Amino acid sequence: IMMLSSEGSLSHAISEWGRTATTYFESIDACHICFCVLTEGGAIAQLNCANCKCAFHSECVAKWFATSHKAIC
């Protein structure tokens, strides 16, 4: 399968794909510990840090607090 842009070049098509992927992923929030996608209303609860305002899976932040011996991020 050949990937070509409207201009017909592979390098331009790859560049266009990169811009599209970057735009898509900028709108997705990820857990700042495991870097997996956070979903609203999903099976895994998410928490927002009162200090840095970052979002985390509740399991990730609980494990981080338990193993880092710190009370804040």
Diameter of the chain measured on Cα atoms: 56
Residue range 8-67, pLDDT digits in tens = 678 888 888 888 877 777 777 888 888 888 876 655 667 777 788 888 888 888 888 888
In the numeric block, the tokens 């709108």 are attached to 27
Name the band, by pLDDT with cuts 50, 70 and 90, for residue 6.
low
The pTM of the full predicted model, rounded to 2 decimals, is 0.53
Q: What is the pLDDT of residue 7?
A: 62
43-49, long-range: CB < 8 A, 24+ apart: 49/73
Q: What is the pLDDT of residue 1?
A: 42
Calpha distance 5→9 (Å, rounded):
6
* Tokens found for residue 60: 């990730």
